[in-house]
Chains A and B, each alone.
Chain A
């Protein structure tokens, strides 16, 4: 009984622990194994060296997809953070109808991209959407053809992704602003410090944990971005907007090249590891102090 009582916390964690070991780490190990085989339509288990990685690094399409991950990830995370912060600060100025505006900013997170992809596709299409609309107002020279331009199409993915997630980041920051001690701000204002200084010197630095939370949510969305690309560009024009997740899916499920898909997954996990582990380390160390 004593033993039970003392170990109760561990016992309560045990099922989750086992589940994570099997369903996350076991599956990563499984993927690692398959990435060393010549699996095609279905997984096979005879090890055959690093051939899949060789193929992966020889593939121009993978180069594009891998490069896009960093371009897309950096822009998406960076702009979402900035936009979210700016909108949160704006909304924090005693705005009328704050509730309504906040809901409008937040709702895209509730929609799946299977749904909104088509709408975005139309809006961004030069012949149907924004460009056609502005031109019909008489500005004949207006051009907005990123969607159909191989070099620019990745930025339309960024736009749609920001549209979906920046409201959520805004909510995070708004919550942060609201939880900053009001006394400090008042004191600063009485001292005649301008508002922007109050934000940049006092409020924003105190929200460091929120930046980290926002980062982890956004990074996880960036890495998993999949529906978005499929719905908006299908990876096109050509394969200019491919991301590792779409590359992996198309290898595994439309091309029957599971070994190749597994190797791309492993490289992707490596990237995640390199980015997330430092975060976790700093986060957990700070908490233990």
Chain B
């Protein structure tokens, strides 16, 4: 039964004469391992169950660098994939190159505008048309902690950065590494934006990292953010550079370290090791208001062939469908992008995340993560990250960092 519904909607999108086109899709994505691959497999199964043929084109690496390379080469050679995993402002940039397909028909038919939070929906639209389908919402501003370590040292989850610093001093005195951290540029940026959100507040964050307001970038508050980064540097063990984030998570798990600031994919690592949220490990939003999201999405490319167009329509519909949103996000550790999915099967951290998302969406503090390419074009966010990571890994003063930040942003065009 269901099959025919999808077939009809796919049909609606196709030009006349395409009645018998079987949905086809070559999908370029960078989810290639473990839980992520299983999550995509869910989509592929659903796609196949609806009569589609899925051709997998996985390219992993460095948050999609290699995938980005492959995508550019494919588009330039006139051999674009049917759908590709792209996120944030890159969607609009690809649209400006004139290579994305319009999926408004599917979006309107399925009422995406009603089920997606407004700020997330805006990422999926290009000049009034729908051009991408959101898969999930990762919250970036999480702080994870080892429950036993906190209990043993009589510490509760911090709600301000001062509290965090006080707790860290206590832990350090007890011989525990306060903050597990991996010194890779994107991880430095992840911590940085969590601190910035806490100290600047949602409005200040938006001014600085969405609007790139020069005054906000050079404000005293921004100096305070870098000061806090310098303080945090003292809470990290000396061997942090280059460490993978999951090894940092392992340090929290085995009690070597107490806290880690990392997006909710870290939860998957705890769960894979058989830990229970609330008992073995604790999750909370980082000190301060607001919610930083990192939304994965798929954009459809302008391709020839009715079978491929039918595939795009089907794919878009399935991605935003409730069933996939639930199953996928259970696997991935994130939460559904649509707000009407029942959360009964999700763990306490995910439920907290969903509640916070809805609350902050209404309060206007649902903000894009700059560190994960949601807020700015790559050149701009990259320029900021260069300064953040070079400050964190040297003895640069906060004042100098702020100066460099402002000029790097100007220089990034």
- Which residues of A come within 8 Å of B, CB atoms? 38, 40-43, 55, 58-61, 121, 125-128, 145, 147-148, 150, 153, 230, 232-240, 249-251, 253-257, 260
- Asked if B81 is at the interface (CB within 8 A of a chain A CB), the reply is no
- Chain B 369-413 per-residue mask, 1 if CB under 8 angstroms from chain A, else 0: 000000001110010001001101110000000001001000111
Which of B125-133, B235-243, B265-273, B305-313 binds A?
B235-243
Our pick among B96, B237, B241, B390 for the contact of A60 (Cβ within 8 Å) is: B390
| Contact A41 to B97, CB < 8 A, known contacts A236-B183, A256-B90, A260-B379 | yes
Residues of B within 8 A of A55 (CB): 411, 413
Task: Supply 24 A–B pairs (Cβ within 8 Å), ascending by A.
Answer: A40-B93, A41-B72, A41-B90, A41-B96, A55-B411, A58-B407, A60-B386, A125-B242, A125-B243, A126-B239, A145-B238, A148-B183, A148-B241, A150-B394, A233-B242, A234-B185, A237-B241, A238-B389, A249-B65, A254-B68, A254-B378, A256-B68, A256-B90, A256-B378
Nearest chain-A residue to B89 (Cβ)? A256
In whole angstroms, how far apart are the Cα atoms of A153 and B75 in the complex?
37
Contact A254 B393 (CB under 8 A): no
- Chain B 68-103 per-residue mask, 1 if CB under 8 angstroms from chain A, else 0: 110010011000000000000010011011000000
Distance in Å from the Cβ of B352 to the closest Cβ of chain A? 32
- Asked if B184 is at the interface (CB within 8 A of a chain A CB), the reply is yes
Residues of A within 8 A of B69 (CB): 249, 253
Nearest chain-B residue to A61 (Cβ)? B386
In whole angstroms, how far apart are the Cα atoms of A153 and B242 in the complex?
11
Distance in Å from the Cβ of B382 to the closest Cβ of chain A? 4
In whole angstroms, how far apart are the Cα atoms of A148 and B185 in the complex?
13
In whole angstroms, how far apart are the Cα atoms of A99 and B140 in the complex?
54
- Asked if B62 is at the interface (CB within 8 A of a chain A CB), the reply is yes
Residues of A within 8 A of B239 (CB): 125-128, 145, 148
Contact B411 A58 (CB under 8 A): yes
Distance in Å from the Cβ of B345 to the closest Cβ of chain A? 35
Our pick among B97, B185, B238, B382 for the contact of A42 (Cβ within 8 Å) is: B97
List 19 other contacts, CB 8 Å, given A40-B379, A42-B76.
Answer: A40-B377, A41-B93, A61-B390, A125-B242, A127-B237, A148-B239, A150-B394, A238-B389, A238-B393, A238-B394, A250-B65, A253-B65, A253-B66, A254-B63, A254-B64, A254-B65, A255-B378, A256-B378, A257-B382
In whole angstroms, how far apart are the Cα atoms of A156 and B260 in the complex?
28
**Which label, helix, strand, loop or mixed, suits the secondary structure of the B interface?**
helix
Nearest chain-A residue to B99 (Cβ)? A42
Nearest chain-B residue to A41 (Cβ)? B93
Contact A253 B68 (CB under 8 A): yes
In whole angstroms, how far apart are the Cα atoms of A128 and B250 in the complex?
14
Contact B390 A238 (CB under 8 A): yes
Our pick among A41, A150, A237 for the contact of B94 (Cβ within 8 Å) is: A41
Our pick among A38, A234, A260 for the contact of B184 (Cβ within 8 Å) is: A234
Nearest chain-B residue to A259 (Cβ)? B413
In whole angstroms, how far apart are the Cα atoms of A125 and B241 in the complex?
9
In whole angstroms, how far apart are the Cα atoms of A240 and B392 in the complex?
12
Residues of B within 8 A of A128 (CB): 239
Residues of A within 8 A of B377 (CB): 40, 256
Residues of A within 8 A of B63 (CB): 254
Nearest chain-B residue to A153 (Cβ)? B241
Contact B393 A150 (CB under 8 A): yes
Our pick among B96, B242, B379, B392 for the contact of A234 (Cβ within 8 Å) is: B242
| Contact A239 to B185, CB < 8 A, known contacts A60-B404, A256-B90, A256-B93 | yes
